[in-house]
């Protein structure tokens, strides 16, 4: 066999080359590792130190106290009070079913509480506290304190909760808050999840962002699992803004009590500023029920009540205004040039459209020669039948929109109904039908497709009282961003005018004064004996159409078919300080039902004739309670009456009684 001889020199050279290459690779690797360590330890030190600190120190939100709401005299309408909740840390509490069973023996746990606890427990890490019950009574806190040793991982935690001291009396004005849920987060953004409660209705909803304040943070030291070990710093929360309303609690209570057992709505407003002095929608409800979650039984009781206590009649409601629209129709007649204050028409008691046999009757019969003053004072339908027909629906609609009808007033409450001013365009869009002349005729007396709200009428009659100057109705008058700070006025838009001719407004004012003092005035009985002079207009909006030429006596109808009774007015005539609108559902005639309520409001505001009970003692928790001075354990309101007709029902073929 041949043997290949090794080249030792070549092999040595190859070994040296490989060794040098390996050494170079090792040097490069070590250099790269050293460079990486240099980057971590020197160049990126600040960044990683910050990240490390963030892992060790975590911010925890601190929810601020919600702003307090006051009436015009500084009485608290919504505040924050200490409360107690029952929190459970699952990892230290043992078997959840056994825990709930044991706690149920000393604390009243509703099915909703247990269901919510189970849902949140499964979605939360075991060392984080989960609320089992949001509101404990003092007795429950005391009972648990005795047996707390038996329930490791369960604690009673203090917190602030919203309280409404006057319950149903202010429910439709102040509104209420509710626990923040997923819908709130979707609507307001992820930041809303930091707030435990969100405004749901009334002032609480409209000014929610202002009232809730700004969230603060506390820096909490945690371990690698995220368990809190202690607090190392704190950024305080900014409390919510306090609000002062123009509402006077005494006048509000007078308004509610004046309605008695009637359902309806009323608004009292300052003609010079647009501040709402009182506003009621009846029946009402207790907003405290909603703060930490209303029970199924309480909610069903509210929803099953045919009088709809949750429905805000001032903001969401509306209906035919009846004869209360006549002062505005009279003003439109003057503005359009179709009438002068002294112009007269001869009322035969029945108006006929040329070429038609059907007549539109006046409930008062023939009134003879009628001018603008008498047409308002005696509520002569014939005058307005003829005026509306001559004006035409297009001009009628234009002037009514100018006076604020058919559009929201802009009050600081969400969801305001714009109402409806009859017009060809509206009917074509919503009814797909042509317009008929007879519909113009009845529109002149506030019937037909009309939908007007108490707020629109309040804004309008206040403008008449203020010589044609129209202000935006508003509830909040002042704000305070700090408890020690000064109250600052809320910004308001510049007022507008109904007309530039003060003489036209004066003519309408005199007609409204005649309503209360002329021998044939429909409100004369209401003004009797008053030491001040008032102006007003009564009205009745039909709930059913007449048959043929037969007028209907509303007091002979079943309750749910009786007409709506209206009154609008202001006082004193020489220097108006208050304007009111009263609407009584199923009240019959405005002069006999709505006007007396307005008189009580005038007497209270101008003469100080308030109910004797102390308003600061009001505590009502009954669902839909009517008695505003009842104790906290008051029984629920009277049994629900027969189902009422919808306040937004449209009456096409009816006629107003003019009373």
Q: Which residues are catalytic?
A: 323
The two tokens of residue 328 are 């505005």
8 A C-beta contact, residue 581 and residue 454: yes
What residues have CB less than 8 Å from 432, skipping those under 6 apart?
none
* 3-state class (DSSP) for residue 122: helix
Cα 161 to its chain centre, rounded Å, is: 20
d(CA 153, CA 87) in angstroms, rounded, equals: 8
Sort strands 242-245 and 359-361 into parallel, antiparallel or unpaired.
unpaired
Report the candidate in 499, 506, 270 with the shortest Cα–Cα distance to residue 403: 499
* 3-state class (DSSP) for residue 527: helix
8 A C-beta contact, residue 625 and residue 636: yes
Q: Is the backbone peptide bond immediately before 111 cis, with ω within 30 degrees of 0?
A: no
Q: Is the backbone peptide bond immediately before 343 cis, with ω within 30 degrees of 0?
A: no
8 A C-beta contact, residue 129 and residue 87: yes
Q: Tokens 């969230």 map to which residue?
A: 215
Report the half-sphere exposure of 260 (CA within 13 A, side-chain side).
10
List Cβ<8 Å contacts ≥24 apart for 293-302: 293/112, 293/134, 293/178, 293/179, 295/110, 295/112, 296/112, 298/623, 301/623, 301/624, 301/636, 302/623, 302/624
DSSP states of 578-631? EEEEEEETT---IIIIIHHHHHHHHHHHHH----SS-GGG----STT---TT--
d(CA 329, CA 631) in angstroms, rounded, equals: 47
């Amino acid at each position: 066999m041949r043997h290949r001889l090794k080249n030792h020199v070549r092999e040595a050279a190859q070994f040296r080359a490989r060794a040098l290459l390996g050494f170079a690779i090792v040097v490069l690797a070590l250099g790269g590792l050293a460079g990486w360590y240099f980057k971590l330890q020197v160049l990126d030190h600040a960044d990683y130190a910050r990240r490390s600190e963030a892992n060790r120190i975590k911010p925890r939100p601190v929810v601020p106290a919600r702003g307090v709401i006051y009436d015009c005299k500084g009485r608290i309408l919504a505040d924050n009070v200490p409360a107690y909740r029952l929190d459970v840390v699952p990892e230290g509490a043992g078997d959840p079913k056994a825990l709930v069973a044991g706690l149920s023996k000393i604390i009243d746990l509703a099915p909703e509480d247990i269901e919510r606890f189970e849902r949140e427990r499964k979605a939360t890490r075991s060392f984080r506290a989960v609320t089992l019950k949001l509101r404990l009574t003092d007795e429950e806190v005391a009972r648990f304190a005795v047996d707390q040793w038996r329930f490791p991982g369960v604690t009673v935690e203090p917190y602030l909760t919203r309280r409404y001291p006057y319950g149903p009396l202010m429910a439709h004005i102040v509104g209420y808050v509710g626990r923040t849920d997923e819908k709130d987060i979707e609507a307001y953004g992820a930041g809303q999840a930091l707030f435990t409660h969100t405004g749901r209705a009334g002032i609480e909803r409209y000014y929610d962002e202002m009232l809730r304040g700004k969230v603060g943070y506390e820096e909490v030291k945690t371990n690698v699992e995220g368990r809190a070990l202690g607090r190392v710093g704190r950024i305080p929360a900014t409390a919510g803004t306090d609000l002062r309303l123009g509402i006077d609690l005494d006048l509000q209570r007078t308004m509610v009590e004046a309605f008695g057992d009637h359902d309806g709505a009323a608004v009292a407003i300052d003609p010079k500023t647009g501040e709402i002095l009182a506003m009621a929608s009846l029946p009402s409800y207790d907003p405290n029920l909603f703060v930490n979650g209303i029970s199924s039984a309480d909610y069903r009781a509210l929803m099953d009540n045919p009088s709809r206590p949750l429905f805000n009649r001032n903001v969401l409601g509306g209906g035919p205004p009846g004869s209360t629209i006549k002062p505005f129709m009279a003003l439109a007649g003057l503005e359009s040039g179709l009438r002068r204050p002294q112009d007269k028409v001869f009322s035969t008691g029945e108006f006929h459209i040329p070429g038609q046999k059907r007549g539109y009757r006046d409930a008062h019969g023939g009134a003879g020669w009628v001018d603008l003053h008498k047409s308002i004072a005696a509520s002569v339908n014939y005058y307005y039948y003829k005026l509306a027909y001559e004006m035409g629906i297009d001009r009628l609609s234009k002037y009514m929109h100018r006076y604020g009808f058919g559009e929201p007033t802009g009050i600081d409450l969400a969801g305001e109904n714009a109402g409806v001013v009859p017009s060809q365009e509206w009917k074509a869009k919503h009814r797909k039908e042509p317009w008929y002349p007879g519909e113009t005729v009845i529109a002149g007396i506030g019937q037909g497709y009309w939908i007007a709200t108490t707020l629109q009428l309040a804004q309008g009659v206040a403008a008449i009282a203020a010589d044609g100057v129209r202000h935006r109705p508003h509830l909040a008058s002042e704000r305070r961003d700090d408890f020690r700070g000064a109250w600052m006025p809320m910004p308001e838009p510049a007022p507008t005018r109904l007309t530039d001719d003060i003489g036209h407004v004066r003519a309408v004012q005199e007609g409204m004064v005649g309503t209360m003092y002329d021998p044939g005035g429909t409100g004369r009985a209401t003004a009797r004996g008053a030491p001040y002079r008032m102006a007003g207009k009564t009205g009745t909006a039909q709930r059913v159409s007449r048959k043929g030429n037969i007028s209907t006596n509303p007091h002979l109808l079943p309750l749910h078919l009786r007409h709506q009774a209206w009154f609008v007015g202001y006082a004193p005539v020489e220097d108006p300080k208050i304007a009111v609108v009263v609407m009584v559902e199923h009240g019959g005639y405005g002069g006999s039902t709505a006007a007396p309520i307005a008189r009580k409001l005038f007497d209270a505001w101008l003469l100080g004739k308030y109910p004797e009970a102390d308003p600061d003692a009001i505590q009502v928790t009954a669902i839909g309670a009517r008695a505003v001075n009842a104790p906290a354990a008051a029984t629920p309101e009277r049994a629900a009456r027969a189902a009422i007709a919808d306040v937004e029902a449209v009456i096409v073929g009816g006629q107003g009684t003019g009373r």
